[in-house]
Structure 1
Amino acid sequence: MGELKTFKLKTLDILESNDEDIIHHEIPLLDGLIINREDDQNRWVIEAYVKHDLLTFFNDLKSKKDEVMVQVKITKESNTPATFITQIISVNEIGPHMNILFMGQIVDRQKGIIKETLQKLVEEGYQGESLIKKFKEEI
């Protein structure tokens, strides 16, 4: 296995589909890291360090969804966002704060294509798990 590459996580959005729209949940980060594991499945680990008041949101997300689509900016705010399909590995309380660990694969570096693809699939009536499944096939 190659050397792990670690980057600073600057922004984190959770992307959720409902009816015909994509909802962006902007997660206010206290801190965060993203690690390219450089394994054979090209998986990345994303660690978000956030305020404790997001505990219910993330526990609900973890229990309701097998896969969570996230959009992140790495290193600096001005960078283009990268989109990942992830699973929440763990939600941990750390004193007055908490962290969430996601593991997943990067899906595309070009956000325009992602937004168009998602929009098209949502308009075709895909939702929830079937939307994510179809989205994976399309990209």
Structure 2
Amino acid sequence: MKSFKLYSLDVVDGEASVEVPLEDGLILNKEDERSTWLLEAYTDLSLYDYFQPIFDHSRELILEAVITKKENTPAYFQTKIVSLKKFEKHISVLFEGHLRRNKSDYSELLLDSLMQKGLEGPELLKEFKEKMKSKPKIKVKNP
């Protein structure tokens, strides 16, 4: 098992995205035969009402996670909430899931989004290089 610091976390829901402000976060690669990952977000109590119905209905979520430091390329995970704990001022949300490898490569997603905006040629290349450095969030479609 390997553990990493969860730097940032967003829930991607179709065209919408919900930023989860982290008080603290941890991500574990269980390195098991199913390639399972655990992501724990320790976040603000105000998000409890957002996560509770998702947990109650065992709804799948796509998470965009940046691991260790801001400069790292986001990774996308197909997850379900396995635990939701309420504390005095915070909540702990534990997700279990798998790394999405299909259409989750950041550079492919970025290129696709720029092309959908109608960019091409030198303008596309310039914008692509700039965005690869700044790593803006990209909306992904649920499978």
| Cα offset, 1:23, TM superposition | 1.0
| Cα offset, 1:95, TM superposition | 2.2
Flag structure 2 segments of 5+ consecutive residues without an equivalent: 117-140
Tell me, yes or no, if structure 1 residue 111 matches structure 2 residue 103. no
Residues matched between the structures, number: 114
- Structure 1 counterpart of 2:59, from 57, 66, 79: 66
What TM-score, normalized to structure 1? 0.74
1:125 is matched with none
Q: Which has the higher strand share?
A: 1
What TM-score, normalized to structure 2? 0.72
Deviations 1:55-91 (A, max 9, x none): 0011122234521000000000111000000011011
In angstroms, what is the RMSD of aligned CA positions?
2.1
Flag structure 1 segments of 5+ consecutive residues without an equivalent: 121-130
2:5 is matched with 8
What SS class does the counterpart of residue 76 from structure 1 fall into? coil
Identity of aligned residues (%): 33
What is the alpha-carbon distance in structure 2 between the residues aligned to residue 54 and residue 11 of structure 1?
15
| Cα offset, 1:113, TM superposition | 3.3
CA change 1:63–1:114 in 2 (3 A) is farther
